[in-house]
Amino acid sequence: MGLPTADETGNMAEMEMQWAVKAMHHSETYMKLLKSVGGKNFRLTPIDDELYKDFKNNFPDLRIDKLNEDDFKTESAKAKWREFINKYENRVTDFNFGSLVRIDCKGDYTEENTMFAMRTQFYCIEIARNKEGLNDSICDKDNK
């Protein structure tokens, strides 16, 4: 008995649903931490400083307060990100897992304010937002 054909597997809805549930759980957990602890007060990975420096060196003009999907979705952007992400294969847990990232750092996760990213992209963006104080309003807003 061979592997199923593409027609037999369909869109693998069950697997997509499992990914979506895991990604939502990850984003909900992150927002709870961000709102309660504040971005400057916790680390997302053991190598936050290294990721931040490498990210800023490789993507110096990337606007992180309000993301532009073209900076992630064009063929040239995908190639540049793929090369960057693959450097962290053995150093960042779930380095290439799908994650959800907020487009506008001032907002919560909503359908309009969320896009798909790789876990390493999520870490780089959120580490930068935390270090640069862009996530401070999330914590401040919730504690007022």
- At 28, the amino acid letter reads E
User: pTM of this prediction?
Assistant: 0.82
Range of weakest confidence among 4-8, 19-23, 33-37: 4-8
- Domain count along the chain: 1
> What does the pLDDT read at residue 140?
58
Judged against a pLDDT cut of 60, whether residue 6 lies above it is answered with: no
Q: Output phi, psi for 117, to 5 deg.
A: -150, 165
**4-13, 41-50, 132-141 — which one is most confidently predicted on average?**
41-50
- What is the domain-level CATH number for residue 133? 1.10.3560.10
Tokens 């061979």 belong to residue: 2
> What does the pLDDT read at residue 126?
94
Q: Output phi, psi for 71, to 5 deg.
A: -70, -5
Is residue 113 assigned to a domain? yes
Judged against a pLDDT cut of 80, whether residue 4 lies above it is answered with: no
Judged against a pLDDT cut of 60, whether residue 131 lies above it is answered with: yes
Is residue 44 assigned to a domain? no
Mean pLDDT (the chain) is 85
> What does the pLDDT read at residue 5?
54
Structural domain boundaries, residue 34: 15-39+52-142
Q: Are 101 and 122 in contact (CB under 8 A)?
A: yes
Is residue 8 assigned to a domain? no
Angstrom distances, CA of residue 77 to CA of 65, 84, 100, 109: 18, 11, 18, 23
Is residue 5 assigned to a domain? no
Q: What is the pLDDT of residues 41-89, one digit of tens each?
A: 778 999 999 999 999 999 999 999 999 999 999 999 999 999 999 999 9
Is residue 46 assigned to a domain? no
Where do the H-state alpha helices sit in the chain? Answer: 6-9, 13-37, 48-58, 70-73, 75-86, 119-131, 136-142
Is residue 87 assigned to a domain? yes
Is residue 7 assigned to a domain? no
> What does the pLDDT read at residue 144?
42
For helices 75-86 and 48-58, angle between their N-to-C axes, nearest 10 degrees: 150
